[in-house]
């Protein structure tokens, strides 16, 4: 990673690359890790990612907004790897702050799973010379490299409905469009931890954009998440939260109707 090694980034906060930010690593339960406050070049609240580690598999949820963030997330999981696990990266949606770090996992053998809608968008993102967000970031920080050699590739597998992963611990991948038409949430039933991507956020209001789906449907999908037995939520942005954060998001959305 250029002037910083993975060990440095994982163990010495003073040496964390600017393309990583000031992340916090929270072990929520055995094998369940939230990596929050990764760098976000447009939002000081940062962006979140997650790791689920079982004897059979290592599952990354999102990869940050730079290759450096992806490398940092990988370094956290690497400490406990046996090198025998299957590796999967689940992208909660196609936004740059959640997928720009994906090549850190992809080039090490990870399969990438996303919603079919996200997959269609990601097909067009590989060449960052045409990506307006990447251009703005590079212009802002020029000549400092804060993105790294970002490569966005088409997912290996896409879904358009709920899926349960066939591994030792039950992991549900839930199709929950809202912030985008391709939102995915990931639920680990044993630990009762839910990773939501941007369909749920903390410390800021949910972002309704031109490509967001109908607010009524977004609310309906949040109500469906409330049916899960949840202990902790790792939102797309903000602090690890209790499940009542879903109601806060619903309340804001209802006011927009």
Please choose, from the candidates 22, 31, 34, the residue with its C-alpha nearest in 3D space to the C-alpha of residue 232. Answer: 34
Confidence of residue 129 (pLDDT cuts 50, 70, 90): confident
Q: Is residue 63 part of a domain?
A: yes
Q: Is residue 216 part of a domain?
A: yes
Dist CA 57 CA 54 (whole Å):
5
Mean pLDDT of the chain: 92
Retrieve residue 40's tokens. Answer: 């976000």
Q: Is residue 112 part of a domain?
A: yes
Whether residue 113 is predicted with pLDDT greater than 50 in this model: the reply is: yes
Give me the mean pLDDT over the 155-172 stretch: 93
Backbone angles phi, psi at 194, to 5 degrees: -120, 125
Whether residue 5 is predicted with pLDDT greater than 80 in this model: the reply is: no
Backbone angles phi, psi at 8, to 5 degrees: -60, -50
Q: What pLDDT score was predicted for residue 12?
A: 52
Domain containing 173 equals 6-256
pTM of this prediction? 0.93
Higher pLDDT, 130 or 207: 207
Give me the mean pLDDT over the 114-123 stretch: 95
Q: Is residue 71 part of a domain?
A: yes
Q: Is residue 1 part of a domain?
A: no
Please choose, from the candidates 35, 68, 37, the residue with its C-alpha nearest in 3D space to the C-alpha of residue 53. Answer: 35
Q: Is residue 82 part of a domain?
A: yes
pLDDT, one tens digit per residue, over 9-30 is: 444 545 468 899 999 999 999 9
Would you report the helix, strand and coil content of the chain in percent, each value rounded to 5? 30, 25, 45
Supply the CATH number for residue 86's domain.
3.60.15.10
pLDDT, one tens digit per residue, over 40-76 is: 999 999 999 999 999 899 999 999 999 999 999 999 9
Could you tell me which residues come within 8 angstroms of residue 116 by beta carbon, excluding any fewer than 6 positions away? Answer: 158, 159, 160, 182
Q: How many domains does the chain have?
A: 1
């Amino acid at each position: 990673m250029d002037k910083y090694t993975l060990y440095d980034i994982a163990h010495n906060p003073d040496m964390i690359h600017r393309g990583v930010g000031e992340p916090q690593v929270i072990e929520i339960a055995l094998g369940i890790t939230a990596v929050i406050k990764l760098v976000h070049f447009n939002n000081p609240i940062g962006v979140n990612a997650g790791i689920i580690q079982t004897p059979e598999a290592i599952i990354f949820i999102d990869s940050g907004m730079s290759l450096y963030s992806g490398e940092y997330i990988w370094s956290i999981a690497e400490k406990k790897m046996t090198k025998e696990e299957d590796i999967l990266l689940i992208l909660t949606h196609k936004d740059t702050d959640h997928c720009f770090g994906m090549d850190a996992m992809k080039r090490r053998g990870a399969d990438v799973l996303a919603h079919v809608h996200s997959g269609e968008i990601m097909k067009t993102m590989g060449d960052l010379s045409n990506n307006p967000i990447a251009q703005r970031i590079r212009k802002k920080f020029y000549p400092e490299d804060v993105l790294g050699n970002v490569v966005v590739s088409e997912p290996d597998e896409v879904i358009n409905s709920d899926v349960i992963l066939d591994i030792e611990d039950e992991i549900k991948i839930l199709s929950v469009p809202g912030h985008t038409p391709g939102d995915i949430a990931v639920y680990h039933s044993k630990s009762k931890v839910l990773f939501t991507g941007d369909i749920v956020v903390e410390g800021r209001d949910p972002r309704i954009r031109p490509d967001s789906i109908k607010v009524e449907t977004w609310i309906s999908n949040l109500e469906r998440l409330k049916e899960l037995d949840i202990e902790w939520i790792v939102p797309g942005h903000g602090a690890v939260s209790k499940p009542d954060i879903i109601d806060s998001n619903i309340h804001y959305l209802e006011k927009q109707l």
